[in-house]
Structure 1
Amino acid sequence: MLRRAGSHDHRRWLDHTAATRGCVRPVRLTGELHDVDTTTGAITRTRHTHELPDGVIYVPCGDRRAGVCPPCAETYRADTYQLIRAGLVGGKGVPHTVAGHPAVFATLTAPSFGPVHTRVVNPRTGQVRPCRPRRNVTPCPHGRLPVCTQRHTESAACLGRPLCLDCYDHAHHVVWNGWAGELWRRTMIALNRALRPLTKLHGTTLRVSYGKVAEYQRRGVVHFHALLRLDTVDPDDPDAILAPPAGITPHDLAELVAGATRATGFDTPPYADTGHTWPITWGPQTDIRAVTHGLDSGAITSDAVAAYLAKYATKATEPAGLPITGRLTADLVEHYADAHTHLGRLIAYARQLGTRPADWTTDDQRAAWHDTYGRLERWTHMLGFGGHFATKSRRYSTTHTRLRAERRTWRRTSRTDHWRRHHGDDDTTLVVCRLTLAGIGWNTTADAQLAADAAARAREHRALAREERTTSKENPSPSA
């Protein structure tokens, strides 16, 4: 670290690595950069990355998981916030009239697969209630009493763990994770069908647009937080976002969402040669609240919704206690699969149920297995869930791709303006890159620490500048 910090090109190296924003494991690229004259197509200058510090170009990894790369996850969180908020108040290509559309915030959970340790807080007194107090309780078939009178703390290790490990239906648990995305899809179909009476009543076509984030509960099952907005369909322009009739309120939409949630359910395909199926339905603990842009009893504000969804968009399996890893190999499954722990059994069942039977050898059988239970094996490291953590309907808002493109354009424009101020105006040059992968990660831990410290100082400087601008707007000077 001292050798790097004391080198003559330390400042140049910091400027070169600033684009990573402190990424934990940046992508290193090597190759050539060509300056091309856009009027003639001729290459006017060629540079190799060997001329740059470390001989490579550093690019952020872009991982959304805070447990893998906190700086890149923070960028993803900020983009998700802008994406969700634009669907509520407008901006980023979305008309500002969406602020008047009925919208609800829904939390949909999985059913119970067996009693687990919980922490319940009295909303009026703030006192923690006993976990599972029971009277006149009989032992379960395995000789254990399903009772817990403890008042657990927020960091208690037993939270989400079954009271009886043998009574808990781990197989149904991982299968539900595997079909949770399909359950959401069918719920949206049922919700749009439920809009038909309103369509006939008001003489217009309605649709529901949504932004959704998946989150793991401590017991290891996913549940969904979703923002649902009601729109009117323009027959001449299906991509247009029009306001629904004035007579429809957010509470009307909340009732429709609750009805679609209760009515949606299906059975999984028969498993292999046993023919066993599992029911896939939502749990009874759902929370559906209207979204407002001000203070209203029982409602939640648009900014709170956007911040809440963006926060959980960067999470993975950490709440369940499973370390973040890549796909689990057979050796890793053997290491993590423990019949004496809750997570160990979930991993074991995901791999066991997802393993194709030996007698399924035809192409049709392999394809059928790949599209159904085979997904559980591929997503064993996610306890069976293989869906995206942050998704949205097509017409809800902007996209992450567009936000990243706008950010790249802004940075490119800033660099171009800087070049023009120092080297004159030149609009006829285009930079074309021919790059290949050189590696992933920093060359040394010292480089990683120095880059992270520089990025932290840059974030602190931007935060102070933002605070000063906000303060100056709220308290303008007397001369202004």
Structure 2
Amino acid sequence: MSDSTADTELTNRLRAFDYPAWRARMEATGGCAHPVRLRGSSTITAGDGQLLAQRSGEVWAPCGNRRDTVCPACSDRYAADAFHIIRAGLAGQERGVPASITDRPRAFLTLTAPSFGSVHTRRLTARGRVIPCACGEHHREPDPRLGGAIDHDTYDYTGAVLWQAHAGKLWHRFTIALRRALAARLGVSGRRFGRVARLSYAKVAEYQRRGLVHFHAAVRLDGPDGPADPPPTGITAEALRDAIHEAAQATALDAIRPDGTTLTLRWGAQLDLREITPSVHDAVTDEHGEITDTRLAGYIAKYATKGTGKTDGHPDRPIRSLAHLEDMALAEHHRRLIETAWHLGGLTEYAKLNLRKWAHMLGFRGHFLTKSRAYSTTFRVIRGERRAWRLAEQLAELGHPADDPVIVVNDWTLVGIGHHTDTDRELALAHAERVRTDRRNR
């Protein structure tokens, strides 16, 4: 579409008779790129039967997609909710989590994937000089080959995809091993660990340039009843770090290759582990390199909205056939990961993994943000508070006391998803960007 055509369509849209109604619905979603369009009615009735408000027609709801490449507005909202969930478990003083958790044994760890073959890398010396890659070149930062296999024909794509598909289960086994390691340090059996202590954590998955995920996690030791219960004596921050190292080395999971051989899945050799300290200034790390809790929540939460990497044209949604990849500007390395996941998904022995559904995610099937039950609050609680606040605001406009019970009856039917035209979508994206910019400038 030429610039003149786009300008003409934009002018016509702004002058359209339905533009005010469209804009009101669009702004109600925060500029959602793929709004859920509903048609029907909603009524609010007081406890004595008095009709307080009635609305009918078409309304829009945000799509709720967490990925910033799909919907920046909903991704922004998701990241904000994730921030509050993670921060509550790091700093306390909110959402039922006491401030005393900052005195607990805590650690911030990063678990990586093992190597499945040499890839192009760009590392720097202490003086900032580029270290030669295994291919012999000195790569510049924008080099599209970074993260890709040096030799695509010898790279173990099958092993990489199987590792991705089992990464969530590998994390689960790691937490079991960590509880056992902590139980041994407390002098109790693994089964009795839950009676004397509780392992609380929040983790997020992030894709590396090579297309494999690694996990960032904030880990905390509580008493058996959760954050309000002090942990048992005998476990220091140093003991927690030692237990994490022990558990990471002990964690293993066997998978079967298509040829029937066994592939033992483990964590990579690189394990970054740091103590979390209470914040004294607005920085992620202090002068000793330790992680401070004020901005660590934002550091973790932002990864929950990311996709599979920086590759242009990468699929953001499940693909239905490999033909969908033909028009995408994919790096050869990522293309082969997707193709491998797709081919493995067609084999009977991998039916339970449902790899074709997750081929666009390079085989990774897990949630990007997970937490233990007692770490802090939940998305459901936060979203419920948001709905309650909006209802209270609406009742205040109607002059009805917010603490008096009301009956809300919704009767909506789905009529479509997304904007009708590209112009409408671009206007919504522009609105979402203005909202984000205004918030940052406050």
TM-score by length of 1: 0.80
> 1:243-271 CA deviation, whole Å, 9 max, x = no partner?
22455332221111111101111211x45
Would you say 1:196 and 2:183 are equivalent positions?
yes
Find the residue that maps to 2:242 and give its secondary structure: helix
> 1:93-129 CA deviation, whole Å, 9 max, x = no partner?
222221211111111111111111111123x323332
Structure 1, 338-347 or 429-438: larger mean CA deviation: 338-347
Find the residue that maps to 2:85 and give its secondary structure: helix
Would you say 1:352 and 2:352 are equivalent positions?
no
Kindly indicate whether the alpha-carbon contact (under 8 Å) linking 1:25 and 1:442 is maintained by their aligned counterparts in 2: yes
The structure-2 alpha-carbon separation of the partners of 1:337 and 1:176, relative to structure 1 and needing over 3 Å to count, comes to: farther
> For residue 197 of structure 1, what is the amino acid of its counterpart?
A
Find the residue that maps to 1:99 and give its secondary structure: helix
What is the RMSD of the two structures over their aligned residues, measured on CA atoms? 3.0
Please report how far the alpha carbon of residue 67 of structure 1 lies from its aligned counterpart in structure 2 after TM superposition: 0.6
Matches of 2:409 and 2:155 in 1, distance apart? 58
Kindly indicate whether the alpha-carbon contact (under 8 Å) linking 2:318 and 2:358 is maintained by their aligned counterparts in 1: yes
Matches of 1:425 and 1:198 in 2, distance apart? 52
State the partner residue of 1:419: 398
Q: Unpaired runs of 5+ in structure 1? A: 50-55, 133-146, 358-367, 468-480
State the partner residue of 1:69: 71
Q: 1:21 aligns with which of 4, 26, 30?
A: 30
State the partner residue of 1:312: 303
Pairing of 1:68-217 with structure 2 (within 5 A)? 68-90=70-92, 91-122=94-125, 124-132=126-134, 147-150=135-138, 152-200=139-187, 205-217=196-208
Q: 1:277 aligns with which of 238, 241, 262?
A: 262
The structure-2 alpha-carbon separation of the partners of 1:158 and 1:434, relative to structure 1 and needing over 3 Å to count, comes to: same
> 1:195-239 CA deviation, whole Å, 9 max, x = no partner?
1133228x9712221101111111111111111111121xxxx45
The structure-2 alpha-carbon separation of the partners of 1:57 and 1:166, relative to structure 1 and needing over 3 Å to count, comes to: same
Would you say 1:448 and 2:429 are equivalent positions?
no
State the partner residue of 2:7: none
> For residue 130 of structure 2, what is the amino acid of its counterpart?
V
Matches of 1:339 and 1:406 in 2, distance apart? 41
TM-score by length of 2: 0.86
Would you say 1:243 and 2:269 are equivalent positions?
no
Kindly indicate whether the alpha-carbon contact (under 8 Å) linking 1:178 and 1:385 is maintained by their aligned counterparts in 2: yes
The structure-2 alpha-carbon separation of the partners of 1:340 and 1:157, relative to structure 1 and needing over 3 Å to count, comes to: closer
Kindly indicate whether the alpha-carbon contact (under 8 Å) linking 1:209 and 1:395 is maintained by their aligned counterparts in 2: yes
> For residue 137 of structure 2, what is the amino acid of its counterpart?
T
The structure-2 alpha-carbon separation of the partners of 1:462 and 1:346, relative to structure 1 and needing over 3 Å to count, comes to: closer
Kindly indicate whether the alpha-carbon contact (under 8 Å) linking 2:39 and 2:415 is maintained by their aligned counterparts in 1: yes
Q: 2:371 aligns with which of 374, 387, 392?
A: 392
Structure 1, 3-12 or 445-454: larger mean CA deviation: 3-12
- Max Rg structure: 1
Find the residue that maps to 2:398 and give its secondary structure: helix
The structure-2 alpha-carbon separation of the partners of 1:433 and 1:390, relative to structure 1 and needing over 3 Å to count, comes to: same
Kindly indicate whether the alpha-carbon contact (under 8 Å) linking 1:333 and 1:347 is maintained by their aligned counterparts in 2: no
> For residue 345 of structure 1, what is the amino acid of its counterpart?
R
Find the residue that maps to 1:215 and give its secondary structure: strand
The structure-2 alpha-carbon separation of the partners of 1:419 and 1:264, relative to structure 1 and needing over 3 Å to count, comes to: same
Q: 1:380 aligns with which of 359, 363, 371?
A: 359
Would you say 1:300 and 2:291 are equivalent positions?
yes
Q: How many residues align?
A: 422
Find the residue that maps to 1:319 and give its secondary structure: coil
Kindly indicate whether the alpha-carbon contact (under 8 Å) linking 2:211 and 2:362 is maintained by their aligned counterparts in 1: yes
> For residue 366 of structure 2, what is the amino acid of its counterpart?
G
> For residue 276 of structure 2, what is the amino acid of its counterpart?
V
Pairing of 1:49-64 with structure 2 (within 5 A)? 49=57, 56-64=58-66
State the partner residue of 1:364: none
Matches of 2:234 and 2:403 in 1, distance apart? 57
Would you say 1:226 and 2:207 are equivalent positions?
no
Please report how far the alpha carbon of residue 441 of structure 1 lies from its aligned counterpart in structure 2 after TM superposition: 1.4
Q: Unpaired runs of 5+ in structure 2? A: 1-9, 280-285
Kindly indicate whether the alpha-carbon contact (under 8 Å) linking 2:113 and 2:267 is maintained by their aligned counterparts in 1: yes
Matches of 1:158 and 1:387 in 2, distance apart? 27
Matches of 2:414 and 2:149 in 1, distance apart? 46
Moved over 6 A (4+): 42-45, 336-340, 423-426
